[in-house]
Amino acid sequence: MKKLVSTLAVATALSLAGIASAADGPVKIALVHGLSGSTFEAFSKQSHTGFKLGLEYATGGTMKINGHDIEIIEKDTQFKPDVARAVLAEAYGDDDVLIAVGGTSSGVTKGMLPIAEEYERILLVEPAVADSLTGPDSNRYVFKTSRNSSMDMQAQALALKPGPDLHVATLAEDYAFGKDGIAAFKKALEGSGATIVAEEYVPLKTTDFTAAAERMFAALKDKDGRKVILIYVAGGGDPMGKIKAMQPERYDIEISTGGHILPVLPTYKRVPGMEGAIYYYFENPDNPINDWLVEEHNKRFGSPPDFFTAGGMAAGLAVAKALQSTDDWDTESLIETMEGMSWDTPKGQMTFRPEDHQALQSMYHFKIKVDDAVDWAIPELVREIKAGEMEIPVGRNNQE
């Protein structure tokens, strides 16, 4: 009992300290992402750029909210769950941040969720994707601006126009991102008559997809109707290119996958006309915030904003909206403010669903266009898929 009372006293003291520091000094926000040790570093860096641009846009360039300077503290998880937990605890405890934003890998981020509950501080998940991050193992302190696997896969299913003549084999990485994604895709196909004929899961960092591809070919080749290999891989290894080199077209098998960051899109030139769904491509959204982002990013960095830059900006705008909407910066007031909150982003309006704090948002159905004057394949917009068109499962009831 003494230990419990002591733990509660420490948590209360930390919470009150956070309120005091926010009242007396800068508002401290931690960006907790992997900045070393993985090919996913590029995702983290894009998120950081976008987050800072979001705060800049929301504050009119002052980087002040309600008269307080914004102090950003960056922490490197090194893409290791134990390091991620330690640096998040350090951010809440030693650095006394009000809100933390992270992480990049879904598997690493999952280990961060209990730390937010332990310190009773908000963790805003961006850009990790897995549905499980707002699932049963999550908690009321966790909000999520990044899309989730269900959005990826429901949009992908809509882009494929599923029906009884559609047969699909899936390829994904063997961890939370891949497993949640394929589970969501199968859920999205329910009732359509489409069938999943094979599921292949490969370890992270796989570079040889030959055996998996051969098994998918065997499962698909004798089917009547449309035959598709769906690739849902976030890392490297170029599965699309290597499977394409094995000539799936000899069995009338198509390849489909979601969009990706600009450095990867040149590889999509091998699949002109391919259709899929994408979270963001800078030419697709039509709104003032995206116009500003594209113009400023080109001006400052000599290139258009990328996939995760938009997500980082959405997170920055969400934090700014929450802090600007209440004078009480204690955790409970922020949770009350953010539940059900809508705000504008480069993708249009997002809304935090009160039940599980997932941000509902649009996705984009694309068709690959190849233009020799453009270095990458263009995921040309077919149509915007609105949040209301997707039945996104509620991961966790935060009212419990």
Q: Residue 8: its pLDDT value, please?
A: 44
Q: Render the burial of 290-305: b for 16+ CB within 10 Å, e for the rest.
A: beebbeebeeeeeeeb
pTM here is: 0.88
Taking the CA of residue 116 as centre, how many other CA atoms within 13 Å lie in the half-sphere pointing to its CB? 29
Q: CA-CA-CA-CA torsion for 61, 62, 64, 66, nearest 10 degrees?
A: -100
Q: Residue 13: its pLDDT value, please?
A: 46
The DSSP call for residue 246 is: T
Q: CA-CA-CA-CA torsion for 166, 167, 172, 175, nearest 10 degrees?
A: 90
**Average model confidence (pLDDT) across the chain:** 92
Q: 114, 124, 186, 202: which is closest to 154 by C-alpha?
A: 186
Alpha helices in 141-231 (DSSP H): 149-160, 176-189, 210-220
Tens digit of pLDDT for each residue in 200-239?
999 988 999 999 999 999 999 999 999 999 999 887 789 9
Please state the rounded mean pLDDT for residues 136-162. Answer: 94
Q: How far apart are CA 208 and CA 184, in angstroms?
A: 25
Tens digit of pLDDT for each residue in 350-373?
999 999 999 999 999 999 999 999
